[in-house]
């Protein structure tokens, strides 16, 4: 029997916490006792502009419910902004234990030839370097205290692909590699680093896919928050993993290889002759694995399963 997972005495930084998934993470962490730095510029989807009211509104919700929170408007896309945000956590609450790197900017759907070097770099600067900058700013403190939890937000798009989302898929793929490597360095210091790949009916999803299903209860951001809290809790022994969460379904995303074909003297013809051994995974019906093609297809499958679940 798992005891009630509380975060009393813990301090969390949640980036991009003014709306959507970030807001859901911040509210649940605070409800379970954490003091939360609510970071959000209040920017448009492309990263332009800013509105301090979004972070302030989440802080107001938390404090009205008896929790502790402070708003932060620094940009995680810069090292200085990330340092200031971590400094605010330490100054306001006297510590830092949990970091959720959720902030992101987005581009409209486009063909590959419509992308530019600038469009790739703009997305990388927030999704990848935002996570790097924030983790770096917090790292020495977490190592020094011998404990910490970092959750980097990824996407099924990075693993399964999504037509027209080249910049986003590339950035989230880079976040995966960063997460797995940082987890190796963090483990001896008591720091767990994991990736959460959530699906929810947030602003970018609604702008990308004009499907009414993304407004249903299956895509409520609140369905992703419990898994984030579990990964943030000190009792969670998971490290260096990617956890997908769509429509209330939590699952590990596995990067695997087939047994393949091996030879001391391979030839192109021999490789071609062993095509199935190299490419086909074989029968996985006895495993706990499911194969999918495309992030949207995976999401739709889980929504259909959600709709068959008994009402809570």
Spans in the chain with pLDDT lower than 50: none
225, with CB counted inside 10 A (0-12, 13-18, 19+), is buried
Sequence-distant (6+) residues with CB within 8 A of 283 are none
Would residue 159 show up in a list of annotated catalytic residues for this protein?
A: no
What is the end-to-end Cα distance of the chain in Å, rounded?
Answer: 20
Q: Which domains does the chain have, with CATH numbers?
A: 11-253 (3.40.50.720), 268-307 (no CATH)
Global pTM reads: 0.91
DSSP state of 163: T
Gap between the Cα atoms of 38 and 56, Å rounded: 8
Angle between helices 20-31 and 225-232 (to 10 degrees): 50
Is residue 22 within 8 A of residue 15, CB to CB? The reply is yes
Gap between the Cα atoms of 145 and 205, Å rounded: 38
Rg from Cα positions in the chain: 20
Residue 289: predicted pLDDT: 83
Is residue 135 within 8 A of residue 150, CB to CB? The reply is yes
Residue 285: predicted pLDDT: 81
Q: Are strands 191-199 and 249-253 parallel, antiparallel or unpaired?
A: unpaired
Residue 201: predicted pLDDT: 60
Angle between helices 117-145 and 166-186 (to 10 degrees): 20
Which of 25, 54, 168, 261 is catalytic? The answer is 168
Residue pLDDT, tens place only, 109-152: 899 999 999 999 999 999 999 999 999 999 999 999 999 999 99
């Amino acid at each position: 029997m798992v005891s009630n997972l509380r975060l009393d005495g813990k301090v969390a930084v949640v980036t991009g916490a003014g709306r959507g998934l970030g807001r859901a993470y911040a509210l649940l962490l605070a409800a379970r006792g954490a003091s939360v730095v609510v970071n959000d510029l209040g920017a448009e989807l492309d990263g332009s502009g800013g509105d301090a009211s979004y972070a302030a509104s989440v802080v107001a919700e938390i404090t009205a419910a008896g929790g502790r929170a402070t708003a932060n408007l620094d940009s995680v896309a810069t090292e200085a902004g990330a340092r200031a945000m971590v400094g605010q956590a330490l100054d306001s609450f006297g510590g830092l234990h949990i970091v959720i790197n959720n902030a992101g900017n987005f581009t409209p759907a486009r063909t590959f030839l419509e992308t530019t070097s600038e469009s790739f770099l703009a997305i990388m600067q927030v999704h990848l370097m935002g996570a790097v900058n924030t983790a770096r700013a917090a790292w020495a403190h977490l190592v020094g205290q011998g404990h910490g939890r970092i959750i980097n937000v990824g996407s099924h798009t990075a693993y399964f692909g999504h037509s027209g989302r080249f910049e986003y898929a590339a950035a989230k793929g880079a976040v995966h590699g960063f997460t797995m490597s940082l987890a190796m360095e963090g483990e001896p210091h008591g720091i767990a680093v994991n990736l959460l790949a959530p699906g929810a009916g947030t602003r970018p999803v609604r702008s990308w896919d004009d499907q009414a299903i993304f407004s249903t209860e299956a895509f409520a951001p609140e369905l992703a928050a419990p898994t984030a809290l579990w990964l943030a809790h000190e009792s969670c022994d998971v490290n260096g993993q990617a956890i997908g969460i769509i429509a209330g379904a939590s699952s590990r995303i596995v990067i695997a290889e087939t047994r393949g074909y091996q030879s001391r003297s391979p030839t192109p013809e021999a490789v071609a002759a062993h095509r199935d051994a190299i490419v086909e995974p074989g029968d996985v019906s006895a495993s706990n694995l499911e194969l999918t093609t495309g992030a949207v297809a995976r999401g739709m499958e889980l929504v259909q399963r959600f709709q068959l679940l008994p009402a809570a």
